[in-house]
Structures are given as C-alpha cells and as structure tokens.
Structure 1
Amino acid sequence: MAAVLRAQEEESVARRGQAQTRARRTVPRDRRPSRGREDVNSVLARGVRQVEAALRNGRVTPATRTRFQAVALLLREERARVRAQEDISEGRRSEQLKRLDGVATILAKSAVRDSGLMALLAEDAVVSDEARSLKREMLRAAGIEPVVEEPPPAAPAAATEHRFVPPSVVSRQLANPFLAPDVAAVRPRTHRATRLATWELIGPLLSSFERAGSGAAACMDLPEPTSRFTPRGRELMPHQGRVVAAAAAGHRTFLLADEPGLGKTAQALLAAEAANAYPLLVVVPNVVKTNWAREAGIWTPHRATTVIQGNGESIDGFADIVVVNYEVLDRHVGWLGDIGLRGMVVDEAHFIKNKTSQRSRNVLSLSDRVRSFTARPLLMALTGTPLINDIEDFRAIWQFLGWIDEKKPLPELMNALDENGLTPADPGFYTAARQTVVDFGIVRRRKVDVAADIPARRIADLPVELDGPEGRSIRAAERELARRMVARYEHALAARDSGPAVEGIDHDLVRQVARWEQKDAAEAKSGDNVFTMMRRIGKAKAGLAADYAAQLARSAGKVVFFAKHVDVMDAAEQTFAERGIRFSSIRGDQTSTVRQRNIDAFTNDPDVAVAVCSLTAAGVGINLQVASDLVLAELSWTAAEQTQAIDRSHRIGQSQPVTAWRIIAAQTIDARIAELIDSKAGLAAQALDGSDEEVGSSADVQLEALVTLLTEALIGERAA
C-alpha cells in the first residue's frame, strides 16, 4: 500500500511539474511562479560576474558592452516588476529588491571603469539589437519565455513634438516642392568582395591604429595646394590649400584632425566651395556658433549664411550655409534632413564620440539622410583632439563619414580593404588596413611640420604653497581621504577567504578600492572627496593665480586666465577689479552675442588686459591669439582639454612664443594630477602621429590619482 501511495505521489508531482512548465510558457510574466524569478536573480548575478571578468582581463569590447546592457535592461525590468507585484509580502519584496540592488551596485562599479558603459545606463540610451537578443536568451536561461517585443521606431531620436520648422524653411520647401535626389556619380552600394565577408573587421581596423609604430602615415596623400577658391585679399597657408585641392579633385570625406590652431574652419568652408556642397550644414558647439558665421563671411562672402538660435524663427531658410549648435539640433533634425543638404561639417567632432548620446544620434541620423539624398556629399569631421578616451572614439566619426555602420565597413571601404588581398589572419593586414582608412580621408598635420612661422609653445609649472587655514584644511582632508581608502583596502583584504596570497601591496585591490572611492565621489552630495578637494584647491589658488596674471599683464601684455569653476573665476575677477585691471569675462552661461562682444573687447581694446575664461566654455573654437601668455589656474581632467585651451593663443597669426603658466598647489593631489595629465598627453600621438608613446585613457586621470594616493599611503604605513 505504501508503495502504491508513493507511486501516486510521484505521478502527482510529475503532473504538477509539467503543469508549471506549461504555465511558465503561457502565464503573463508578472504572474509567473517565483521559482523562475529566483532563476532570474541567478542569471543576473552570473551576467554581471562575466562583465566584471571581462573588464579585469582587458579593455572594453563590443561583446562586453552588449552583455553589460543586456544585464542592465533585465535588471531594470525585474526591479520594476518586483515593486509593482501585489501578491507578495513587504518583507519578501524588500528581500528581492535587496538582492537586485546588490547586482545594481556591482554593475555601477563596473560602469565607472568606462564612460561608454556609464552612458549605457542612461534612460535614453540606444538599445542595440544584440543586447535585446541576449536579454531574451538570459530570460530563457531562467526558464521564462520572453514576451515578444515591438521593434524600436526607426525615427530619429528627438521627440517629434519638440521639433520645429521655421517659417522661412516652409517658404523654401514650397519654392522647390519637387527636390530631386542627386544620383550623379553614384558610389558603389554593393560589396564585390568575398574574401572578407565572414570576418569581423571593425575591431581589427581600430586595432590597426593602436598598433601603429613610429613613422606610420597620419595623413592621406594630398595634391598640391590651390588658391583658386580663396577670396581676393585672403591667403591660405599651403597645408590648408592642399585640403581644398583634394575636395576640388573629388575627395568627399575628411577626418580633418590637424592640431588646434591650424585653420580647420577656413579649410572646411573652402572645401565646401570647391565641392559646391550647398546647402551646407555646420554643426558646432554653442560657444563657436558666432565665430563660424564670421569665418563664413570672410572665406565665402558670396554665400548667404544663417545661424539657428532656439526654434529658428529668425533664420534665412534660403541660406547656403546653415550653422547650428549641438544643443538645439534635435529641434531641427526633421527639416534639415528634408532640404537636400549636399554637405555637412561637424566641428569638435569628438563631441559625438558617445554613440548613445542624443547629440551623436542626431548627427548620425542627419548624416544618413544626407548620404541617402546625395550620392557624393561632402562630409567633414573637424577636431584637433580626435581621441578623448580611447581608440573606440573613432567609431562614431567613421560612421558619420559613411565609412562603417554599427557592425561592418560599408561597401566602398570593404572593397578597398579587399583589394589589399589580406585578412586579419595575415601579418601585413593591420599596416595595410590602417593605410586604407587613412587614404579614405584622415588628415593630420602638426604645427611643427606645416607652420614653421608659428613660434613654439611651452608649459611652465609654477608651484605655490597653500598657507593659512584653508591650505591646512585641504591637506588634512587629503590625509583623511588616504586614511579612508587604506581602511577600505585593509577591510577588503581581511574579508578575502579565497585566492592566492599576495606579498606586499595588492595592486589589483588598490585599483578596485580607488574605483569604489571614485564611484562614491561621483554620487556624493556632501563630504570631502577627490572632486570637492580639487574644487577647494582651485579656489585656494585663485588669488595667487590672479596675482600672477596681474603681474604678467603689467609686464608682458594681454593674458588669458583659464579656470574650471565659477567661484574661481569670480575670485579672480574680484582680484583684478581691486588692482584696477580691466578684464573681459568669457563664460558658458552667456549668450553668443555677449560672449562674442567680450571676446572682441579683449581682442580689440588695448585697455582690456585679461580675459577670464571658463576652461570648458572658452577652451574650444575661439581665437585669443592677441595674447601669448596664459594662466591655467585650475587643472583639467584631460590633456586634450588643456591642449585646446592653450591653442586658443597658439595658432596661425601668433607672432610671439606662447607660454602656459600652470599654477600647481605643491604637496597636494593637484601636483599628482598635473603629472598624470602630462603622462596622458600622448593619447592622440600614437594613433595619428605614429608616435611610440603608449595610448592611455584621459578619462582615467581621476582613478589614477586615487591609485597613486592610496599606494603612497600604504607605502608610508609599511615604512612607519
């Protein structure tokens, strides 16, 4: 009898198991049994561990980004489901949310290592097809059949309700309602090759620039310069005329990566003239919008230029050149894509390096529209600092130029690569592939090579001692930060229950502790951390830096004073006012008109001795060559930002040697960061200039500063 009962019970259990399996396939996701949801937690934990392992083993790959985004998507959905679930107790809900928060914490700590991963956590981040597919696989691994998702709309990123069509543009469209595409000289749209069809090529192409050694070409072959398109009374330098000649000869895509100050604006405007690429759209940072309109008036005076402000009610819809800033581009994507653009220039193109950002999506959407309308449009990406974080920054720029899409080279580049007769398995592939991409339109010239009449520049560090209560408070805060990280390191070391023992300092753990501190600092709303200390140091240096700028102004002439924070600029301006020194203020919160008026005052008024500039707002696109001395009162987190600021004065037309006086707070983290910035200054050099310097990430300066601070503290503890 007992045997019969056991058999009946086993049969009943089997039937229940089969019913539960069927239920998981048919019951809505928010009403499925909790066992599958426990499996979701396991799948999430496994996924985030895989991301961590990939990050430890090397730089972030596309596969890592896909897995990271899939985990983030599933985590977000599961957290929303748990919070909305009504048939569980509050204690059970709290327990499940706590487990999910643990996964979220690990995910966030991973994202701190790479700005591209951090961007994928944004609510408006573009979700790739690969990430959606992997998320479905993760659900199936948890025993849950995923709900069929509607594909995302193919429309441009900006919301339709926020778009505008200025009245004058409507008039233009009515005047030419049958605008026909340009089908002349159609580029090849199909890939003839078969040799490379099964190879993943984007990674090797990027890698070919990382592997470049000394002497590798950084610039496509350019023809002899032409002055045929230069307006009367103006003169191009030979290196500028070569790009114009290339456009006149039929070349249509350029990554114009000349060092700052070599006249990229004039080259772009005259290349458009040579290619007859009108209407021409120019997308720029807000700070240089007015300057672009001025330069267009100088170099192409017979072309009507209009600047889009806000909703664009006052623009000239019939203009040949349309200038718009990144911040308002989303409002105008629709009509700009419909007016038959034959050319597009993106200034400071490193602004689009994050392909998930709104600005990048808008630019790439318009680029697609331009290439679908015009067979051979002029597309130019302008930047003196093409690599801000790493070699991956090339992706968005190459996609804008129409060389690649999300997954592979487009037909024209693919055919050119195939003509080399090599695959990534062949030893000579990387050298040949790099040269092929360079020949597609990379133009990189250094001042030392093409502008011998521009004097050399130098950076001179001026260490200052922070005396008084503020200086003592800053040094005490730095010591407390070091103590906090040491305690965290020792606690993590003591909590280990597995793994090989490490003699001396565990540098991997040091780096992990620094990442934790960096993440905490980014999220903190109060208390001392690396960011607040740098701001306090900047404010403490403000008076000393302003005093030195005042001395320079009296002895050497006009001076540009750069600072990062508003309170540092305010303190400097107060110092100049007290000393009777007239100054001009160039800030990010000013309108274009006010900013340009202040620039003109500094440039043209001999009594205005100092330009007090925001490092971020005035560090790109403006011309301050009237000054040959700069004071950097605060340090940037990137070598590229520092270089951009210096090159506001060190540019064509400068007749004096340029010196950047960097004010460094001695015996503080300020000095360490200055050294790290200098060590990162060769970032673009290897990829574009053929230098043997190691490529690093400027975005890691914060992290490396914390690593150095903790390492020195641990060494000091062991020596004590």
Structure 2
Amino acid sequence: MVDRFEAADPPRLGCIDGRPVGEAIPALLADHGYWGVATATALQLVARGRIVPGVSPRGHDTWRIGPLDPQDEAHLREFATDYEELRRFLDAVADTLPREPGEGPFAGTEVHDVGELREWADDQLRISLRIETDDRMRFRAVVQHHLTEFEAMLAVRRAARVWPPLERLLEQQRLDPLDLTDDEVLELLTAPSIEVHWPRELLTDVKARAVISATSEFRLGELFQLDWQIALRGDPLTGTELDQLAEATRPVVRLRDQWVLVDPAIARKAREKLRPITAVDALAAALTGTTTIDGAEAEVAPSVLRDVLAEIKPVPQPDGLEATLREYQLHGLSWLAHLTGLGLGACLADDMGLGKTITLIALHLHRDDQHPTLVVCPASLLGNWEREIRRFAPGTPVSRYHGPGRTVAREGFVLTTYGTMRVDAEVLARHQWGMVVADEAQHVKNPTSGTARALRTIPATARVALSGTPVENNLSELWSILDWTTPGLLGPLRRFRARWPEPDATLARLIRPFLLRRRKSDPGIAPELPSKTETEQPVPLSQEQAVLYEALVREILDQIAATTGIARRGLVLKLLTGLKQICNHPSHYLKRELTGRSGKLDLLDELLDTILAEDGSVLVFTQYVDMARLLETHLGRRGITTRFLHGGTPVARREEMVREFQNGHVPVFLLSLKAAGTGLNLTRADHVVHYDRWWNPAVEDQATDRAYRIGQTRPVQVHKLVAEGTVEDRISEMLTRKRDLADAVLTSGESALTELTDAELSELVALRSEA
C-alpha cells in the first residue's frame, strides 16, 4: 500500500514512498488504491492536453496540470484526502511525462507527443512589446500578454535569450514598463522573433534604393555612378536631409517637421558612396530595376537609361539597296542601326525566311563603315550570302575567306565559315572590322566550345547575331549568344544560371531591347505566305521491327539496371538510338542492305507516289546519314531521281544541288537534318517529310522553313512519320505539349532522358499494344 508523497522543486524530482515519481508510475497504475486513482487521473489530464508550462519558486522551467474545468476541479476535491498535496502530485506527473523519451516506464501510455506539447506551449507563451515615447522622445517597452504571472515570466525569460534587455524584468520579478536606451531601440529594430508595436506616428515609409547618374548622351565606354537614394514616402531626401540622416546618433531623426524611426541599415546607406559601374552594367540595372551591391540584391530607381534603348528613330532604306524592304524589315533595320550606333550588339531572331540576310545587307549599307563586314556562317550558306549580296547590293564588294590560298579583303563583305574562323581566329583578329555577323548563331550556343571562344577574340565596332532559334535547349545558350553581342549584359554565366534557372519577367525586360523576335504567324509580318499544314502520320511496326524493338529493350534495360553514372547514361543513349533506328527500318539498325519491311518506308513510298503524280516536290529530312543512303538507293531502284545533301557534301556541290532542285530537275531532295536544317532556300518544295524525329520542335521547325519561307507561293504540307506505340510516339506526345518552350527553356532532348529512373525509362520505351 502506498501512503506517502514527498514534493520537490522542480516537481518531477518528487518521490512517492522514497521512489522518484517517474520510476513509480507503472507500479502506481497497478495499484487500485488512492495513489493509483491519482496517477490514472494525472495521465488522463495530460492526454487531454490539460498541461501548461510554468516557473517554479526556485526559477525552474516546469510543466503542471491545468487549466482545469469545473468538472475536473469537483472530481479532484471529491476524492482528495489533501487537495494541495494531490495537486503537487499531479504536477509532478505532468512535469515528468513530456521529458521522457517514450520508451521507458511510459511505453504504451496514451499521452500527447512531446514535440506537440512543446509547440503548443510555445504558441501559448507569446508576448509582444508595445513601444511608447514621451515628449522628449525617450523610449520604454511595455510587455503585453494574456498569460498567468508564472507563464508571462517564463515567456519573458525565453524572449530575453533573443533580446537581453528583458533580463532586467526577470531580476525585478515584475513586468513594469522598461526604459530603453537608444542602443537597445536599435537592437530591437532588428531583433527576430519578437513582435513589436511601434508608435504609429513614427512609422513612416523610409526606403533606400540605388540610383544611376547618367548623362544625356549614352557612351559605351563611359562609367556611371551608382549611389544610394533615400526617400521618405517615395519623395527623395535632399542633400541636407541626407547629411542629417547620416549624422544621426539616435534611431529617431527629425525630418520634415516630424520624428522618423529609421532602420540603422538605411542610415548607414546615407553615409556610403558606391562604386562606378560600366555602361552595360548600368543598362542592365536600369532595365531590370535591380542590381547587386556587396553580394545583396538592391532595388534601382527608374533611370533615363531605359529611354536610351527605346528611342529608336526610323531609318530610310539605304541607297544602293536593289530591293524594297517590307515594313517589318525596315523596323528591324532601324532597331539594328540604333543599337549598333550606340556600340551595343543585337540578336535578330526572326523566323527563317523572313529576310534576316537582306536586313543585314541594308544595315551594312546604312552604316557605310570604312572597314569591312565579316560574316561567319555555316559552309552551306556561303553561296546564299554571296548571291544575296550581289543581287541586292550589286555595287558592294563581296569575297570569300575560305578554302586554300585565302586572303582577307579590306572592303565590303568578307564571308567565312565557322570552321575556318576557328582555325584562323588569330589572322582575322588582326584586322579591323566595322561589323561581325554570326549567322545561324546557335553554332556558338556552347560558350566553352572552341568556335565560341574563337569568335570572341575578333574585335568589331558592332556585333550582330542572326538565329531563328536563339534558345534550342536551355537559357545558357541565350547567354552565350547575347554575351558575345553585348559582353557583360547578363553577367557571368555562373551567376546568370543561379539567378535565372527559369525565365521570368525580369529576364524578359533585360533581354527584350537586345533580341528582336518575329514569326511568320505574327499579324502583318508575311500575309502573302500560303498556308502550312502539319500532319503527324502514325505508322505500324512490321513484325520484324517489333521483334527487334522488344529484344533490344529487354537487353539494354537489364544492363542499365546493373550500372550507374556515365556508363548508365551511355547505355540509355544507346538504347534510344537503337530504338529510333529500328523504327526507321530493320536494315538501318542491322546495318545491312535494304531488305525486309518498315511501316515508315511503306508510307513514304505512298506519299511520294501521290506527290510526284501531282507534279510536286518534296524535302525528306532524316538525322541519320546511313538512313538517307538507304533511302537514296531504294528510291533510285524505283526510278525516282534524288539528291542527297549531308555534312560531307562540298560547298560547290551543295550549291549545284540546290540549283537543280529549285529549277525542278530533281523532285526529291534527301537532307541530313543537322547539315541542311538551316540556311537553305528550297521554296520549290511544297511537301516536307520528317522521316524520323529530332526530339526538339525548334530544330524541326527550322528544317521545315527551308520550304516555308518568303518566296513560297504554294501551300506547304508537313508530314511527320511516327512509329505507333513506340518511344517515338511517347516523345511526340511530349513535344506536342511543349511547342511554346522555344520562347523560354526547351527540353534538352535525349540527354534529359538519361536522368530518368529505371521505372520511368521502362515506361517510356515499352512497346504498347497499338504497335
């Protein structure tokens, strides 16, 4: 029989029959006598949340039973032999339970989770400070709460860990108003986790933002001064007021006939002098409204620098241009003339076929620079540039810096390829260029490539990038192009990636003045263009294709499951490539002469029969040279005349092939997507066939635009062949949902698929029933 309880401070140290309460509870629960009932009652109260934090007479943090409702109070008084002793025992149990790990004597006891109890207690033990001032602007803090005296003191103790001046209240054990020094007020301005109510009359809107000092005339080499601007309710302070703020020794300052509470960080800014910044950095700050100061982002006040880029004056069509520019082309010319006239670069990102070449020829004539213009382009476009220049600017010298025995001309246009430029970068860098043009600028989308680095070494008064797809895969490609045209605009690549993992409105404001993007579908751009119809043509696999497909999936997935890292990524790419080849034709995957059947080849034969019967012409794109050679052999056996253009085709032969097709001598043009997807003018075609898919819609669109461009007079039909139930089908669904990504961040194609889990990859490549 238990008969004696000894209380202690703190309560959890109390004993019952000489044993600590915590150890005795299991035995007490088995006792049906007085203390057993008391123990069960304590556990029930704790389980119901009837537990509150407090402070013992000796200053210990404790838990105790409470608050009690009238029914609880009546129950305790009914069976208590000594009510005060019973309450001390209940408090001892309450002070013990939340401190136990839940695995000792209380295992299985139905009590609240300790973490929940502490969260609940923290929520209950809340105080706030109301700040008062007298007529001499002396401060005092008044503690506001809705707690008992013990609870309030416990809450003050916790708050004192954050803001030590509250310890004075603990020393006096009373919550009297607390007189504050100026330093304590400053600390309170930045103290976390304490709710402070400041006098309304002191709460004025004082903000700091950076301001750019600019001259009326923008010069690229000029340095701009960046300083802090302090404003009261949006109205900048005068120089005298700034001095007053900078010299203030108190957290309150008398400004404009009123006392103002000022954050010490803002007061420090009134004393700071910031650094000069370059013209390009100033432009970026003005456009985005933000800049980085000492590693932190700061707001920038509106600047007239934004108007420098917006004030584009119309430029008349230059003398010597043997053509009539369309309205949108004249606007592009004016825009380019304005930016290059300021010493800034630009990226003209019109859709293919809207006349970027003629716009650049007009810009060259308008600038009338004594130094030549260097055009860097793919080899396949050398002939097109030369023809366009001789046609539209017949009085302008044009020469090629390409092939053996090459020399650099000193006037007019100089045309070279990316490959030659990379090899001869030092030679080209020794010459003075009035303008350097990077056509199909996506060739330098990788900033670490040798081609991109070589291009950056060639000096020029103006730099212009031309590209129908400035972003093919990710934003870093856009950075690479714009950092070449206007170095420093987007900052270092690492900081750019960290700041803009995804595009947003701020990035759009920054790049909009430097990148002009027009589409054929835009109102008024090319109303005379005929219609374009895109059709996805699903085709079934032949039996041989299906067998090969499933066998390859089983084999490679088993290998992938057993590998990691680079080896795994290599196997994923091997699997995807093999499956796409099987979808094309069994012979493509097996690397043999064209035998057996393929759903794609059967459909291609049907399409060609219809197209050629109607006297049409067709472009057939494939990303695989081997597949194109198989098609060339197959169509030749059927008596169909073809030409095949790929990366290894010499420049002169390319130009001859284009002439043959455009003159109607060859009805079917087989093209390697990577080598012929840009730059060529093939408006003779009224049909385009994508035999296999280049899992990037922007690249496919560029290829289609070989036919669908200015000069096309017939409707264009685009046929995209997709093997049903295969990985091609799955990817096609994804591309259909992501047509708008060319304006932001496109998928990174097959490389992104290497990061799929084994289960996701299996789902992607599994052969569905419709195959």
Structure 2 equivalent of residue 613 of structure 1:
671
| Identity, % of aligned positions | 24
When residues 379 and 699 of structure 1 are mapped into structure 2, their CA distance, relative to the original with a 3 A threshold, is farther
Which of 618, 626, 631 is equivalent to 1:559?
618
Matched residue type, 1:474: Y
Structure 2 equivalent of residue 293 of structure 1:
386
Matched residue type, 1:343: M
Structure with the greater alpha carbon radius of gyration: 2
Which of 369, 388, 403 is equivalent to 1:310?
403
Equivalent residues of 1:584, 1:610 under 8 A apart: yes
Which consecutive unaligned segments of at least 5 residues does structure 1 have? 1-183, 209-218, 371-376, 410-423, 493-512, 523-527, 688-693
Equivalent residues of 2:224, 2:276 under 8 A apart: no
Distance, in Å, in 1 between the alignment partners of 2:377 and 2:409 is 19
Distance, in Å, in 2 between the alignment partners of 1:197 and 1:640 is 43
Structure 1 equivalent of residue 548 of structure 2:
473
Q: Which moved more, 1:191-200 or 1:348-357?
A: 191-200
Flag the structure with higher strand content.
2
Which of 438, 444, 455 is equivalent to 2:512?
438
Distance, in Å, in 2 between the alignment partners of 1:675 and 1:546 is 22
- 3-state secondary structure, aligned to 2:376: strand
Equivalent residues of 1:291, 1:622 under 8 A apart: yes
Does 1:520 find its partner at 2:543? no
Equivalent residues of 2:619, 2:685 under 8 A apart: yes
1:265: how far off? 1.1
Which of 629, 651, 656 is equivalent to 1:597?
656
1:230: how far off? 6.0
1:220: how far off? 6.8
When residues 660 and 294 of structure 1 are mapped into structure 2, their CA distance, relative to the original with a 3 A threshold, is same
1:204: how far off? 13
TM-score normalized with structure 1 length: 0.57
Matched residue type, 1:466: L
Structure 2 equivalent of residue 531 of structure 1:
577
Cα deviation digits, residues 625-650 of structure 1 (max 9, x gap): 11121111111132222111111111
Equivalent residues of 1:638, 1:699 under 8 A apart: no
Does 1:239 find its partner at 2:239? no
Matches within 5 A, 1:42-441: 187-194=220-227, 224=314, 226-229=316-319, 231-232=321-322, 234-249=323-338, 250=341, 253-277=345-369, 278-311=371-404, 313-315=405-407, 317-366=409-458, 369-370=459-460, 377-404=461-488, 407=491, 431=505, 434-439=508-513, 441=514
When residues 457 and 193 of structure 1 are mapped into structure 2, their CA distance, relative to the original with a 3 A threshold, is farther
Q: Which moved more, 1:476-485 or 1:700-709?
A: 700-709
Structure 2 equivalent of residue 660 of structure 1:
718
Cα deviation digits, residues 404-455 of structure 1 (max 9, x gap): 178469xxxxxxxxxxxxxx9xxxx97566435322x321111111112223
Does 1:454 find its partner at 2:529? yes
1:364: how far off? 1.1
Matches within 5 A, 1:533-682: 533-540=579-586, 541=598, 543-544=601-602, 546-551=604-609, 552-555=611-614, 557-604=616-663, 606-682=664-740
Distance, in Å, in 2 between the alignment partners of 1:379 and 1:678 is 35
When residues 581 and 246 of structure 1 are mapped into structure 2, their CA distance, relative to the original with a 3 A threshold, is same
Distance, in Å, in 1 between the alignment partners of 2:337 and 2:764 is 61
Cα deviation digits, residues 500-539 of structure 1 (max 9, x gap): xxxxxxxxxxxxx7986433345xxxxx622222223223
Distance, in Å, in 2 between the alignment partners of 1:675 and 1:341 is 47
When residues 713 and 580 of structure 1 are mapped into structure 2, their CA distance, relative to the original with a 3 A threshold, is closer
- 3-state secondary structure, aligned to 1:259: coil
Distance, in Å, in 1 between the alignment partners of 2:686 and 2:529 is 12
Equivalent residues of 1:206, 1:392 under 8 A apart: no
Cα deviation digits, residues 311-343 of structure 1 (max 9, x gap): 5x1446334211111112133222322221110
- 3-state secondary structure, aligned to 2:693: coil
1:623: how far off? 0.7
Equivalent residues of 1:205, 1:434 under 8 A apart: no
Cα deviation digits, residues 195-247 of structure 1 (max 9, x gap): 69699999999999xxxxxxxxxx97765573334623x22221111122334
Distance, in Å, in 1 between the alignment partners of 2:713 and 2:386 is 25
Which consecutive unaligned segments of at least 5 residues does structure 2 have? 1-216, 229-273, 291-308, 494-498, 587-597
Equivalent residues of 1:550, 1:576 under 8 A apart: no
When residues 224 and 706 of structure 1 are mapped into structure 2, their CA distance, relative to the original with a 3 A threshold, is farther
1:568: how far off? 1.0
- 3-state secondary structure, aligned to 1:626: coil
Distance, in Å, in 1 between the alignment partners of 2:444 and 2:289 is 20
When residues 470 and 705 of structure 1 are mapped into structure 2, their CA distance, relative to the original with a 3 A threshold, is farther
Flag the structure with higher helix content.
1
When residues 662 and 193 of structure 1 are mapped into structure 2, their CA distance, relative to the original with a 3 A threshold, is same
Equivalent residues of 1:389, 1:697 under 8 A apart: yes
Cα deviation digits, residues 551-610 of structure 1 (max 9, x gap): 223235000011111221112112221222212221110110001100110001x24111
Equivalent residues of 2:422, 2:455 under 8 A apart: no
- 3-state secondary structure, aligned to 1:463: strand
Distance, in Å, in 1 between the alignment partners of 2:765 and 2:625 is 35
Distance, in Å, in 1 between the alignment partners of 2:427 and 2:702 is 33
TM-score normalized with structure 2 length: 0.54
Q: Which moved more, 1:340-349 or 1:455-464?
A: 455-464
1:308: how far off? 1.9
The size of the alignment, in residue pairs, is: 459
Equivalent residues of 1:677, 1:701 under 8 A apart: no
- 3-state secondary structure, aligned to 2:424: helix
Distance, in Å, in 2 between the alignment partners of 1:715 and 1:668 is 7
Distance, in Å, in 1 between the alignment partners of 2:539 and 2:530 is 28
Equivalent residues of 2:421, 2:428 under 8 A apart: no
Equivalent residues of 1:381, 1:401 under 8 A apart: yes
Distance, in Å, in 1 between the alignment partners of 2:336 and 2:678 is 25
Distance, in Å, in 2 between the alignment partners of 1:682 and 1:669 is 22
1:549: how far off? 4.3
Distance, in Å, in 1 between the alignment partners of 2:767 and 2:601 is 33
1:194: how far off? 4.0
